[in-house]
């Protein structure tokens, strides 16, 4: 593994486990087995490192979502594939990492917000249109309203005041929001499809 990639992998592991603020550049260098000078040759500061990690996360997420969009059997299958991705993404993540990102690395957090406003909005809308065409989602729903409402529901799960992390894990919240969403828009045929994929997900 090339040094920049090693730095990104090791630092992200540390951020997920301990949060961003509590992990120093000295800690990152030690985890990578490199000098601090070498670390700074690749990343000018911690903010640059966090921003690069966010770029990689967003790029990977968008690639996977596009793959699911084209390879899934139907709109509900596409949603459940994204649930598997969410489980992999948020499992073991210390919620402090999201808090630190928002409070101390606003440029990187803005990238995440832009990703939601641009990419997630578009792919959610297309999934809704697909599901309606396939007879799996109710045809009378207002696609634009439901798209925006769903994205707001996702955003709310990151608010620790509403959902304290000592009581709810981020993974649990994301899974519940997605299931609540898809059940709410499904036709009777769609509900049967949800039950099928839900059993597969939980098995």
CB 45 within 8 A of CB 36: no
Closest to 146 measured CA to CA, from 167, 160, 162, 125: 125
pLDDT at 136: 98
Specify the 3-state DSSP secondary structure of 159. Answer: coil
| Reported pTM | 0.87
Specify the 3-state DSSP secondary structure of 137. Answer: strand
Q: What is the DSSP string of 134-159?
A: TTSB-TTS-HHHHHHHHHHHHHHTT-
- Structure tokens belonging to residue 181: 């969403």
DSSP element (H, E) containing 198: helix 188-202
Per-residue pLDDT tens digits for 142-188: 999 999 999 999 888 877 778 887 788 878 888 899 999 999 999 99
- Structure tokens belonging to residue 44: 């000018």
């Amino acid at each position: 593994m090339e040094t920049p990639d090693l730095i990104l992998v090791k630092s992200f592991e540390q951020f997920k486990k301990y949060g961003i603020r509590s992990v120093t550049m000295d800690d990152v260098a030690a985890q990578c087995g490199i000098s601090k000078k070498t670390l700074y040759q690749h990343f000018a500061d911690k903010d640059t490192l966090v921003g690069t990690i966010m770029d990689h996360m967003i790029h990977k997420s968008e690639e996977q979502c596009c793959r699911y969009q084209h390879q899934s059997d139907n709109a509900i299958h596409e949603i459940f594939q994204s649930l598997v991705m969410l489980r992999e993404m948020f499992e073991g993540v210390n919620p402090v990492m999201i808090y630190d990102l928002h409070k101390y690395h606003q440029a990187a957090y803005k990238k995440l917000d832009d990703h939601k406003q641009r990419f997630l909005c578009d792919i959610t809308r297309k999934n809704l249109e697909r599901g309606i065409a396939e007879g799996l989602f109710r045809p009378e729903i207002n696609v634009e309203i439901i798209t925006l409402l769903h994205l707001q529901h996702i955003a709310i799960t990151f608010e620790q005041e509403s959902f304290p992390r000592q009581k709810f894990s981020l993974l649990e919240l994301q899974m519940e929001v997605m299931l609540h969403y898809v059940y709410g828009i499904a036709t009777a045929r769609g509900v049967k499809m949800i039950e099928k994929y839900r059993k597969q997900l939980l098995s």
